[in-house]
């Protein structure tokens, strides 16, 4: 209840140190965030291709083991309290020092625990030699927690142009260092060192760019309320991580490091379109939803509009990727990585479901239904673990990918849509936004698969599949012009004074 009272005070009439005049618009922030993600992903894609060809499946699998450990701790290391800054209705300076303290303490605790647990984890994953890589990479946990508050302040203030500069420094410093060390023969350790150095430099930039001076402090009442708000999110994040990465845990422990390398390569390819659309949206959506949470009708219109636009932009693209999996892997990574193609065809479906689940997640968190989110994740996890084990026994890494896709599409996504009913968003309304993009996506997938089987030249097959996806997306977005207008309601709300 304390968290509810603390987070639910009236937005109007409060005065923050960061005023409306200093904010960029939500639409501008999304544009900068999208640009940031596109540039970052294009850069990391090129670097990733080079590293995959230099390292090979085994070394790549070793790094994947370390990355799974890192993502596990990052999912909850700052105890979920930084999002409170984004959602805070008044002056964020009132809670920022306490948030920084909680984030630092939590990160230090989890970093130390992960360091000690690294040998047991790598042994369970079947690659004890990855222990040192895990330990170096896990230092990113402490760095990330230290600047969780400043990063949230930039998100609250829609300063995605600044965020873009910081992220580009992180990506390119880490990538260049990794490539140099890999060419020098450092193997998987090159990726870990590059990532830590990039994170460290970006942390310094986050502190310097923070809208508020970086301070640590403690306010007992606010700390209790922040933990009441953040711990359910941290618990949910742990389960979200387990759902998102348990397939890699099973692949590594059951199939071995090399098979994990193939699986993670497919996972990275399937995640590429997710990060282009979902990552920039998730940086802006919570603050934008918060700005109009006092207007339920507008909030429902915006969430439905986002479902429609996301469906048009993602479904044809994802299904085209599934249809052209084999020529994409052969063209980008080479024949040695072809076992990843069958995995990719399934993981694309899981990634597609994730886009819509994350949108529903952010919406439900902003309106305060965190307990419902936690329940969905628990149910999904209970179903997923036995499904993955069965899939591994039945079909190896392809069976694991199939199980992940089926649970995401048949269990998790329907559960999120079901819970949205309680917020006034009907399932039929959401499906009404998605049925046409689904039909177009199926047609695009069939075209991409047909081109892959017909043309011997890989580049021609990819061009045919890609062109069909682009035409499908363009036509769908034209038909959904009304959804785009509904999303602009966020900006109108901001100009009307919803963000103070």
Q: Which residues contact 178 (CB under 8 A, 6 or more apart)?
A: 47, 51, 190, 191, 193, 194, 195
Q: How far is CA 432 from CA 304, 311, 384, 435, in A?
A: 10, 11, 28, 6
Task: State residue 444's pLDDT score.
Answer: 95
pTM: 0.69
Q: How many CA within 13 A on the CB side of residue 280? A: 27
Task: State residue 24's pLDDT score.
Answer: 45
CA 438, 440, 446, 447 torsion: positive or negative? negative
Q: What is the pLDDT of residues 279-336, one digit of tens each?
A: 666 656 666 676 676 777 777 877 888 888 888 888 999 999 999 999 999 988 888 8
pLDDT in tens, the chain (500 residues): 334 333 443 333 333 333 333 344 555 555 555 565 555 566 566 666 777 777 778 787 787 777 777 776 666 665 566 667 766 667 778 788 888 888 888 888 888 988 998 898 888 887 888 899 889 988 888 898 888 888 888 877 777 678 778 888 888 888 889 889 888 888 888 888 988 999 899 999 999 988 888 888 887 777 777 777 666 666 666 777 777 778 888 888 887 788 888 998 898 888 777 766 666 666 566 666 766 767 777 778 778 888 888 888 889 999 999 999 999 999 888 888 899 999 999 999 999 998 899 888 888 877 777 678 878 888 988 999 999 999 998 899 999 999 999 999 999 999 999 988 877 788 898 998 899 999 999 999 999 999 998 888 889 999 999 999 999 999 998 888 776 665 655 544 444 444 44
According to DSSP, residue 90 is labeled: S
Task: State residue 321's pLDDT score.
Answer: 92
Mean pLDDT for the chain overall = 79
H runs (alpha helix) in 157-187:
160-183
H or E element in which residue 416 lies: helix 413-420
Task: State residue 280's pLDDT score.
Answer: 60
- Provide the number of structural domains found in the chain: 1
Task: State residue 293's pLDDT score.
Answer: 67
H runs (alpha helix) in 213-366:
220-250, 257-291, 296-323, 325-333, 340-366
Q: What is the pLDDT of residues 226-245, one digit of tens each?
A: 777 666 666 666 777 777 77
88 and 7 in contact (C-beta within 8 Å)? yes
- What is the span of the domain harbouring residue 403? 2-498
CA 324, 326, 329, 330 torsion: positive or negative? negative
DSSP 442-472: HHHHHHHHHHHHH-SSHHHHHHHHHHHHHHH
């Amino acid at each position: 209840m304390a968290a509810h009272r603390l987070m639910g005070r009236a937005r109007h009439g409060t005065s923050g140190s960061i005023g409306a005049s200093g904010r960029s618009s939500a639409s501008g922030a999304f544009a900068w965030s999208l640009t940031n993600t596109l540039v970052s992903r294009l850069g990391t894609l090129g670097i990733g291709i080079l590293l995959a060809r230099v390292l090979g499946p085994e070394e790549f699998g070793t790094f994947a083991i370390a990355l799974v450990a890192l993502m596990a701790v990052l999912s909850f290391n700052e105890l979920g309290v930084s999002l409170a800054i984004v959602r805070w209705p008044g002056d964020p300076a009132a809670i920022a020092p306490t948030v920084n303290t909680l984030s630092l303490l939590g990160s230090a605790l989890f970093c130390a625990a992960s360091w000690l647990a690294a040998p047991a984890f790598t042994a369970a994953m079947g690659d004890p030699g990855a222990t040192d890589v895990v330990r170096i990479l896990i230092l990113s946990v402490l760095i990330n927690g230290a600047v969780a508050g400043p990063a949230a302040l930039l998100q609250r203030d829609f300063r995605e142009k600044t965020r873009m500069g910081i992220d580009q420094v992180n990506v390119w410093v880490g990538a260049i260092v990794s490539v140099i060390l890999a060419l020098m023969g450092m193997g998987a350790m090159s990726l870990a060192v590059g990532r830590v150095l990039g994170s460290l430099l970006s942390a310094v930039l986050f502190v310097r760019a923070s809208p508020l001076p970086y301070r640590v402090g403690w306010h007992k009442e606010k700390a209790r309320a922040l933990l009441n708000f953040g711990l359910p999110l941290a618990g949910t994040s742990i389960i979200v991580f387990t759902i998102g990465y348990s397939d890699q845990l099973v692949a590594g422990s059951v199939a071995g490091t090399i098979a994990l390398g193939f699986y993670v390569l497919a996972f990275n390819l399937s995640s590429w379109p997710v990060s282009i659309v979902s990552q920039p949206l998730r940086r802006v959506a919570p603050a934008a939803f918060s700005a109009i949470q006092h207007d339920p009708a507008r909030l429902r219109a915006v969430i439905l509009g986002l479902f429609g636009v996301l469906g048009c932009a993602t479904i044809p693209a994802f299904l085209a990727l599934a249809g052209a999996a084999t020529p994409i892997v052969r063209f980008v990574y080479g024949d040695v990585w072809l076992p990843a193609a069958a995995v990719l065809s399934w993981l694309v479906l899981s990634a597609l479901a994730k886009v819509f689940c994350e949108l529903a997640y952010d919406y439900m968190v902003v309106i305060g239904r965190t307990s419902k989110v936690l329940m969905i994740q628990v149910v999904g996890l209970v179903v997923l673990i036995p499904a993955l084990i069965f899939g591994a026994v039945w079909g190896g890494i392809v069976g694991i990918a199939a199980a992940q896709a089926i649970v995401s599409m048949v269990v998790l996504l329907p559960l999120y849509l079901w819970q949205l009913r309680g917020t006034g968003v009907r399932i039929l309304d959401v499906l009404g936004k998605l049925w046409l993009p689904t039909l177009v996506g199926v047609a695009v997938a069939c075209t991409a698969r047909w081109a892959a089987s017909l043309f011997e030249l890989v580049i021609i097959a990819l061009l045919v599949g890609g062109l069909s996806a682009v035409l499908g997306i363009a036509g769908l977005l034209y038909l959904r012009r009304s959804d785009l207008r509904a999303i602009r309601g966020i900006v109108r709300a901001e100009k009307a004074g919803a963000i103070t």
